[in-house]
Amino acid sequence: MDKKTIILFFILGFLIFILGGGMGVFYQSQKCLPENCPSATKETSALEKTIKDLSSRTIYFIVAYGTVEDINGRKLTISNNGENLTVEIKENAEITSFIRPVAGGNSSTPEAIAKFEDIKKGDNLRISLKVLPDGKITGESVIIIY
């Protein structure tokens, strides 16, 4: 083979490679829309049903446990086993804390109602969450656990 034929094959192969890569990027960028992907409709309706179920009156609260990582206004970020959750606590949420047991004691005793300002980074919390019809969550009550 002469040099011209080798260069021509090389250029042709390079163009085919570029064209294939472009088609691959285009293919991957296409979203799975309900009209061309029936499973998307099933997943959406299942998610909508779950949100509807969780926001119903029969499921009053869902509980989250974790350690306070961040406090931003009335938003608390808690962490548990490497997973984080940020939740906004309602203005009228009931905040309760427990008194640490005295030396030799076995259990904590409830303290009077606490204030949101009593919550500090590093505190362990139990937050009662309510799922709203739009899928957002809100903190209904908080227990500070020492």
- pLDDT for position 143: 92
Q: Please check whether residue 119 lies inside any domain of the structure.
A: yes
* Number of Cβ atoms within 10 Å of the Cβ of 30: 9
Q: Tell me: pLDDT of 28 over 80.
A: no
* Number of Cβ atoms within 10 Å of the Cβ of 97: 21
- Do 42 and 50 meet the contact criterion of CB atoms below 8 Å apart? no
Report pLDDT digits (tens) over 77-106. Answer: 999 999 999 999 999 999 998 766 555 555
Q: Please check whether residue 99 lies inside any domain of the structure.
A: yes
CATH assignment of the domain containing 120: 2.40.50.320
Q: Please check whether residue 16 lies inside any domain of the structure.
A: no
Which residues does 133 contact at the CB level (< 8 Å), separation at least 6?
A: 51, 52, 55
- pLDDT for position 58: 84
Q: Tell me: pLDDT of 30 over 80.
A: no
Which residues does 52 contact at the CB level (< 8 Å), separation at least 6?
A: 133
- Provide the number of structural domains found in the chain: 1
Q: Which domain holds residue 89?
A: 60-145
